[in-house]
Structure 1
Amino acid sequence: MVDLTRRNLMESSVAAALGASVVGIATGSETEISETDTAGAPGVVGSIKRFSTTAFGAEVTGPFVFENGGLLYSLQHPATGTRGDGFSSSDAKANQPPYDRAGVGYFSGFTFEFDGDNDDFEELPVPSSVEQQGQVLSANHEFVMLAQARDRIDGGSELLGVTQTPDGTNVTQDNFEGTQYGAAATNPDCNQFVPTNDAGTEGYLFTNWENSPGNISRVPISMTDDGEWAADMDAAINLANTEPLRDLGGTRINCYGDRTPWNTMLSSEENYAHTRVSLTNTVGDMVDDGTGKGMIGGCQFWNRPNPTGINGAVGDYYDDGWYVQGYWALDGVEFLAYYLGADQVDQGEGGNTTEPIGDVYPNPYRYGYHVDFREPAADPPQPVKYYVMGRASWEAPNIQADKKTVYGCSDGDNKGIYKFVADAAIDSYDDPMDVAGTLYAPKITNDAASAAESDDRNNPAQTDLEVEWLPLGHASNAECEAWIARYDDVTQVDYLEAHTENWSEGDEVTDAVLEEADRTVVENGNQNYITNEEIVEWARQYEANGHDGVDADLRMVPFLETRAAAKEIGASIEFNKAEGVDSRDGAGPGEYVYFGISEFNDALADEEGDIQLERIDGGIVFRGELEQDYNVSRLEPVIVGPDFGVGSDQRPDGDDGVANIDNVYAMEDGRVLCCEDGFNEGPASFPNDALYVYQPPVDVDVESAALSQNATGEVDLTVSSLPKGFSGARLTVSTSDDGVANITGGAYNDALGLTAEPKLAADGQAAELRVADLDGEIQPGAQNVTLGTLELEAAGTGTTDLQIDVHNMDAEDGSEIDVQERMGMVVTGPPGLGLGPAGSAPTDPDGDGKYEDVNGNGRLDYADIELLFENLDSDAVTMNVEAYDFNDNGKIDYDDVVELYEEQ
């Protein structure tokens, strides 16, 4: 029996008549959103409601919901001083104190009720005045600052969010000349609370600081007797300034993160500077052309003196300069060297010179990972970088309840959504460096996602994305660290010595010397690091021998050059600003992972690659249903932003266009917090980003099943959530293909007081069920409620859909529940692999419950091994795990082929 559902997505209309861009959003506004060219944009499957707007200039980042339902988030880079933006006079204050300084705050007196319904708060009207736009607002609750940037901490020896050199000097532009990625302590992002008592009223608040050098702070907080939160700033610390994290090289651009299932902070490094090639180009393109001109990306200039200067330099060197993707994120690399202990070089005021750093310099392959802070209450916590999960500009990770499967979103243009699957539960390894597993990149496979001609392309608001995961490689964390260590001693001096004919350390760095080195790197790649030729050779061997058939010295390529490797083998590295991924803590098969794509444009809407859909600059939130093995194979659009990016007529004036969703946070009741990162970019008449609460539709779901020949089985009928309780329902389940399976009976949830005997169709192809909850056993807010179970019998071989038709379903108060019906599937046989429903069905020659005779010829022979190998990913195999799981590990994998071979 498996739990694999198919989509039967009910599309919702735009509630323009109510002044809303999406269903259920418009309680606080009156502006009507005009029609746009892209149907369904904006739109939502379910409903969404505005909870808060943040201060002018700030994103909504780092939401966290406490066990009691309280909410906090970060005030990231709010505007300071005066502004003249068309919304106010130029001498008006941008934000009132304390909202003019970055920090973390909570909403006093508010708690979510965790019943799955948005009725637990009033919707916030749009902020219409300069005063309202200059503060953090919710409808009825005050945003209280808990900790603010550069507050004195750790007994006064540190400033909150500010990194220090080994001798205790603050790494700021007050103390060092040069470029810095974000002024120190201006960008608090992810927040995760790790409780230290059972009540969840005391513990540590971990906060990311999105700068370079990066930082994570740990602040003890506790709930007071009157239900407020208080911070102990004297006991707070910056983890960047502790020896364990400095020993790892520190971090850079710590963006979002997650709390792991083993209750630790997981911080993600958004290292935009990892891009080896710009935009849609590949390393193979550069090797084939014999030059990186027009294609090379920023990471190849990591150890260049004044690395960010390369973008302007190529414009000077070549008549037709180009955008060196990621160059701007090289800001702060030299400050990172000072953080590690390098001597400051002579730099001019306000910028970098080209005097090279030659003593201590950061290794680029040590940045761009998820960082787990084990022993979160220790002094200090022990950081672990998961190198084996791949190197990217990680915005967010999400570890599933199996503690093995990890989804990650890499932010920026032409980036990927990646998956990692550990061999065993990640927290089960005695030494985290022993964590081992397989890294995957996505391949979008359905024809509907692409079109050869621009006028044929489909609407992303109405198009699912079907995902196949391509295995890039298998390794352990320790193996990856050993590969990274090869590049630990490379400095800016090495950049010049390796790429010029005659320059050596101590010589003057003239403009001519730097140009010679830069041109050499453009033509041949940076020889200090993994070479272009190594990446191309890895891809050649991958195509010939598979991910586990490459030479030992090339196995490092997909882990250290993840994006470049994935692009080289044709993965769908086309997502633009993949910024959010989350699922409900403890979510299991049949539940959802949400992916926020902040902008659906550029490579997603061009005429190349696997995804060629219409453009929606307001972005899309997809959801993927977790399968039995925690895989996600289909992404469904559920929140669609406004279509405002193409021409002035595509910027309708509307105040409820939920645009550019960044962080997503799934609460325990299934609702999702959606955070905007589109400051003054959308169609709204106000300049503030907002936090919305998404209420998913009520799913009525029939389970899927795999039945052996002539066998029987059962499938459950479930309702995802019942925010307003349940009084009764009448529904019909039917099959789509006569002759595959019959419905032979059914039973109901024992808690339901009044039921009718299932009404079976004469041909066994349908059953009607009627049920009522007389005694109110199903409480409002209940989740994953089983209404009943249907009995099935295999009648042949093949597949058939199980379709649901909900005639009516009512809440406890008598109101009708708006539902989304989701189909199941029955696979019977197992069917003849590769031969269709009429082929010879596999058999079990030795009666052990395994179908060794794959081709159905009555015996086990080599043809069975070949047929299983060729069909390992087919529904007939994956939905019959018990029949083909020859190694008894509970899943289908290539070792099952090996085990079958050894049985001959």
Structure 2
Amino acid sequence: MSKIQWSLFLLILTVVAVKIILLDPKEVHLLASKIEKISFEPVPLSKTDAEKSTLRISNRLYLTYENNRTVTYPLQYHQIAKMGEKIGGGTIGLLTDREERGLKNRDGKPHISTEPDGNSLITSGGRHFLITHLEEAPGALYETELVMGEGKVLTAIETKSVDLSRTGGSIIDCASSKTVYGSHLGGEENYAMNSRYADKASPFYIDCLLDGSSQTSDGVFHYFCDYVEGMKAYLNENNISKENGYNGREFTPYNYGYIIEVKPDENGSTEAAKHYVTGRYSPELAVMMPDHRTLYMSDDGNYKGFWKFVSDEPIEQFRKVWKGRLYAAKLTQLSDRNGGKFKVQWRELGHASDSEIKALIDKKMKLSDIFEIAKPDKNGVCPGGFKKINEDSAVECLKIKSGMHKAAAFLESRKYAAYLGATMEFRKGEGLSYDPQRNRLYFAISTINKSMEDDHDGEESLNDIRLPENICGAVYALDLDSNYSVQKMEAMVIGKPLREYEPFSEEYRCHPDAIANPDNIMYLGKSILVIGEDSRNHVNNMLWAYNINEKSLTRIASLPIGAEVTGLDKTVIEGKGLLLFNVQHPFADNPKNVEEDTPNEVLVEESTDEQKRAQIGYIGGIPKVMIFQ
């Protein structure tokens, strides 16, 4: 061995030795031992009012190795911030207009959100930045810088809203994921701004007052009006024309309902872009596959789709303009048992770049520029030349106009996908997470009913999904091929509805030892899938650890009554594993029992303003070997 080779060998040996020294002492033996079993100490069901009203987490994690040695890891919860808290020069959770001026509620008080959702904790140049969504109209994203302080606890030192003014702002920013190149991908869950409500040529047209009341001219609250007014306030827009598709000087309904990407840089600046080529619908979030080309997007609501985007070239750094092909899933049902089993194929909708679609949006188009739209007659029959579709809880009759296929594909993705025969029968499609150990995607369906039932209301034009009702929902496993294309979909974790007089039915609608209405999910690593709930069918929404190998569920957190689990993220900072989540809108939702009564309503009705403040935090103490990065 030459002197150079010997020196290189010694250098490598030194690096390995240093890495071993830096390991948690409990983890040194991992170099020579395999984990055989993983178990969390379960969180007991809440029994007292105090337990129902507080956040409780698992106290311990146990790892058992092939040498039969079990190591115990104490777990702790650490709060990062509460909404409305002043952090450095900013106030986290404050909704603002495009000029960063604080917006006010109808009572004249500052609008502090109770709806923190997607989180991405991203390290850039040694600095740690947390991107957090606000699920509101207008929406907002906050960037909070964190440092590891005393006791190895993350502390927030500065917060600011991400400047989205160049994209026209955002709306209902829901769940999120992060890319391996250090950016945040968030879903702009455009739940109610369906273009059929905006166009006077549509039989579904809604006439909003636009006076701040979110009401129609008939004095009825409508979410479409609420969303338009929210963006009107953000843009300071006073020129919205109800006669012209609710288009204004800047505002257009077609500007909302996409995937947003945010990239924090070590110098404290932030880049942001909307990716119009991922399609327009109600995206919960997008997840990028290891090929850096394929992304999957879920679509929240009733009569919704499941989406795939394939980039023309690998995306390995933040780019404002993507280019590629958009697809919608076509399901063939193989079984209706235990949540169902399906074959999955894909319908191609179109090919475009972000800049092409942005140019169409800037034209301030209306639905009637792209499709003729009508309602079926009393016998359910569409006019001649029209195609009957189901989309977003309605039956529509559509006829595409000449030369409008690209606009239809990317601005009216659900309508066009249904027009081409894709499956628009998904119900409450929520979280997505990729499992690299099995080359599998996990997909949370919050509720199996309505459009996922067999010919719901006798109005389904395709009836691809024909499942028995399960109000508690399920998490599905989706197998991918070597090109990361989903081929099969089968229920893996299923909720258990309760019947009258069964144990727990006096307080619960879904059995508390099973999931209820899964929403945020995240593959933690080592065959553990973390499942968060958004339910009124459990007294407390829970955070679960599902062991895929053992097919076992363990409660690892119980949230205050009325709160939803959101913002799941994982990371390792300075050798410490962290599991982030939010306590969204505590003391807001009133849980029901089997008879749909609300036996714990006094806890919600008598809650204080302080109890209602949402918060961001994390479970610390997780060994880094558990977290797949």
Fold conserved (TM > 0.5)?
Answer: yes
Letter in 2 for 1:593: L
Letter in 2 for 1:305: L
Superposed displacement of residue 464, structure 1? 1.1
Determine whether 1:237 maps to 2:165. Answer: no
* 428, 442, 454: which one aligns with 1:577: 428
Contact 2:301 2:429 (C-alpha < 8 Å) held by counterparts: yes
Determine whether 1:246 maps to 2:165. Answer: yes
Letter in 1 for 2:428: K
Instruction: In structure 2, list runs of 5 or more residues that go unmatched.
Output: 1-21, 25-29, 60-74, 376-382, 388-399, 552-624
Match in the other structure for 2:372: 532
Write the deviation string for residues 605-643 of structure 1: whole angstroms up to 9, x where unpaired.
132411112111110110112210000110111101113
Looking at structure 2, the residues matched to 445 and 620 of structure 1 have their Cα atoms a distance apart, in angstroms, of 18
Contact 1:150 1:159 (C-alpha < 8 Å) held by counterparts: yes
Looking at structure 1, the residues matched to 428 and 413 of structure 2 have their Cα atoms a distance apart, in angstroms, of 17
Superposed displacement of residue 650, structure 1? 11
Write the deviation string for residues 463-506 of structure 1: whole angstroms up to 9, x where unpaired.
31111111111111111111111118xxxxxxxxxxxxxxxxxx
Match in the other structure for 1:605: 453
- Shift of the 166–661 alpha-carbon distance from structure 1 to 2, 3 Å rule, reads closer
Match in the other structure for 1:372: 261
* 310, 313, 337: which one aligns with 1:459: 337
Superposed displacement of residue 553, structure 1? 4.1
Match in the other structure for 2:121: 193
Contact 1:408 1:419 (C-alpha < 8 Å) held by counterparts: yes
- Shift of the 230–375 alpha-carbon distance from structure 1 to 2, 3 Å rule, reads closer
- Shift of the 359–406 alpha-carbon distance from structure 1 to 2, 3 Å rule, reads closer
Contact 2:208 2:214 (C-alpha < 8 Å) held by counterparts: no
Looking at structure 2, the residues matched to 362 and 115 of structure 1 have their Cα atoms a distance apart, in angstroms, of 57
Determine whether 1:334 maps to 2:229. Answer: yes
Instruction: In structure 1, list runs of 5 or more residues that go unmatched.
Output: 1-67, 71-112, 279-285, 316-323, 346-352, 450-457, 489-524, 541-548, 700-780, 785-904
Match in the other structure for 2:79: 145
- Shift of the 167–312 alpha-carbon distance from structure 1 to 2, 3 Å rule, reads same
Match in the other structure for 2:296: 407
Superposed displacement of residue 537, structure 1? 12
Letter in 1 for 2:78: V
Determine whether 1:668 maps to 2:525. Answer: yes
Write the deviation string for residues 266-321 of structure 1: whole angstroms up to 9, x where unpaired.
1211110243569xxxxxxx9xxx9965xx3xxx54976369534967x9xxxxxx
Looking at structure 1, the residues matched to 385 and 416 of structure 2 have their Cα atoms a distance apart, in angstroms, of 8
* 361, 382, 399: which one aligns with 2:271: 382
- SS, match of residue 38 in structure 2: helix
Show the 5 A alignment for 1:402-481. Answer: 402-427=291-316, 431-433=319-321, 435-446=322-333, 448-449=334-335, 458-461=336-339, 463-481=340-358
- Shift of the 335–291 alpha-carbon distance from structure 1 to 2, 3 Å rule, reads closer
Match in the other structure for 2:540: 688
* 276, 281, 287: which one aligns with 1:398: 287
Q: Using structure 1 for the length normalisation, give the TM-score.
A: 0.48
Write the deviation string for residues 653-691 of structure 1: whole angstroms up to 9, x where unpaired.
643131110011012323111001113x24xxxx11000
Write the deviation string for residues 541-568 of structure 1: whole angstroms up to 9, x where unpaired.
xxxxxxxx99644311110011111122
Contact 2:195 2:367 (C-alpha < 8 Å) held by counterparts: no
Letter in 2 for 1:419: K
Q: Provide the alpha-carbon RMSD of the alignment.
A: 4.1
Contact 2:305 2:414 (C-alpha < 8 Å) held by counterparts: yes
Match in the other structure for 1:658: 515
- Shift of the 302–383 alpha-carbon distance from structure 1 to 2, 3 Å rule, reads farther
Match in the other structure for 1:829: none
Show the 5 A alignment for 1:195-344. Answer: 195-197=123-125, 202-232=127-157, 235-239=158-162, 242=163, 245-276=164-195, 296=204, 300-301=205-206, 305=210, 308-310=214-216, 327-328=222-223, 330-342=225-237
Looking at structure 2, the residues matched to 465 and 69 of structure 1 have their Cα atoms a distance apart, in angstroms, of 44
Letter in 2 for 1:468: Q
Contact 2:208 2:225 (C-alpha < 8 Å) held by counterparts: no
Letter in 1 for 2:519: D
Contact 1:301 1:526 (C-alpha < 8 Å) held by counterparts: no
Contact 1:224 1:230 (C-alpha < 8 Å) held by counterparts: yes
Contact 1:578 1:598 (C-alpha < 8 Å) held by counterparts: yes
Show the 5 A alignment for 1:576-725. Answer: 576-584=427-435, 587=436, 590-607=438-455, 608=460, 609-644=463-498, 652=505, 654-679=511-536, 681-682=537-538, 687-697=539-549
- SS, match of residue 236 in structure 1: strand
Contact 1:426 1:432 (C-alpha < 8 Å) held by counterparts: no
Match in the other structure for 2:604: none
Superposed displacement of residue 364, structure 1? 1.0
Count the aligned residue pairs: 480
Looking at structure 1, the residues matched to 353 and 136 of structure 2 have their Cα atoms a distance apart, in angstroms, of 29
Superposed displacement of residue 597, structure 1? 0.2
Letter in 2 for 1:570: G
Contact 1:194 1:376 (C-alpha < 8 Å) held by counterparts: no
Looking at structure 2, the residues matched to 480 and 340 of structure 1 have their Cα atoms a distance apart, in angstroms, of 21
Letter in 1 for 2:161: N
- SS, match of residue 232 in structure 2: helix
- Shift of the 159–330 alpha-carbon distance from structure 1 to 2, 3 Å rule, reads farther
Q: Using structure 2 for the length normalisation, give the TM-score.
A: 0.68
- Shift of the 403–630 alpha-carbon distance from structure 1 to 2, 3 Å rule, reads same
- Shift of the 117–560 alpha-carbon distance from structure 1 to 2, 3 Å rule, reads farther
Looking at structure 1, the residues matched to 483 and 251 of structure 2 have their Cα atoms a distance apart, in angstroms, of 38
Letter in 1 for 2:275: Y
Write the deviation string for residues 45-64 of structure 1: whole angstroms up to 9, x where unpaired.
xxxxxxxxxxxxxxxxxxxx
Show the 5 A alignment for 1:772-811. Answer: none
Looking at structure 2, the residues matched to 533 and 413 of structure 1 have their Cα atoms a distance apart, in angstroms, of 20
Identity of aligned residues (%): 24
- Shift of the 311–261 alpha-carbon distance from structure 1 to 2, 3 Å rule, reads farther
- SS, match of residue 475 in structure 2: strand
